[in-house]
Copies of this chain bind each other. A is one copy, B any other.
Amino acid sequence: MSKGRLEAFSDGVIAILITILVLELRVPKGADLASLRPLLPVFLTYVLSFVFLGIYWNNHHHMLHLAERVNGRILWANLHLLFWLSLVPFTTGWMGENHFASLPTAAYGVVLLMAAIAYTILQRTIIAGHGPSSRLFAAIGSDVKGKLSVALYAAAIALAFVNQWLSDALYVTVALIWLVPDRRIESRVDG
């Protein structure tokens, strides 16, 4: 079974999610700077979520590039990942419109945590379909970044009820960790 449609469908969903995000940026009534100001937190969460969805698309691109074939399990593991990503516009809007209040900030982290877990499941499902001698298995290695992200998301969710700015700082930290494309896989491909 070819992986082309899996890639195309995932591209479609992520492309739509990334553009649905911007619909939360409602056009303000006024035409002056003051009417833009309440949009600032919404805009900042938009930038953060755009980067997160960009990271997922990027890593998905790299991972599928090394996959040689897909099966029914992989299709469902992929839909599971897309499910959690599809909730990102909702938690982004909720966090932005409530100016980073505790519960929405924690909810934002829960969705990111579930997406990270879904990504790990997808990764393992693909490896299971290719065997431990596959290029992907070698490229993933110990998956330090993946494990670190899960730990940081969990910490951010708990911290949201203490001081939500710490949570936001952790979200930005995870984004920065991943913003560098996954050299483990890329170097494998080039080398």
Majority SS at the chain A contact face: helix
Pairwise interchain contact B16-A11, C-beta atoms closer than 8 A:
no
Pairwise interchain contact B58-A89, C-beta atoms closer than 8 A:
no
- A172 near B: Cβ within 8 Å? no
Q: Restricting to A97-133, which residues have a CB under 8 Å from any CB of B?
A: 97-98, 101-104
Kindly identify which residue among B11, B13, B27 contacts A8, using a CB–CB cutoff of 8 Å.
Answer: B11
Pairwise interchain contact A5-B61, C-beta atoms closer than 8 A:
yes
Interface residue range, chain A: 35 or more
Pairwise interchain contact A9-B102, C-beta atoms closer than 8 A:
no
This protein's copies in its complex: 4
Pairwise interchain contact B57-A104, C-beta atoms closer than 8 A:
no
Some 11 contacts from A to B, beta carbons below 8 A apart, are A15-B16, A17-B19, A19-B86, A25-B90, A27-B93, A27-B94, A50-B79, A58-B75, A62-B72, A71-B190, A72-B182
- A83 near B: Cβ within 8 Å? yes
* A16-B19 contact in complex given A1-B65, A2-B65, A8-B8, C-beta closer than 8 Å: yes
Q: Which partner residue on chain B sits nearest A100 by CB separation?
A: B31
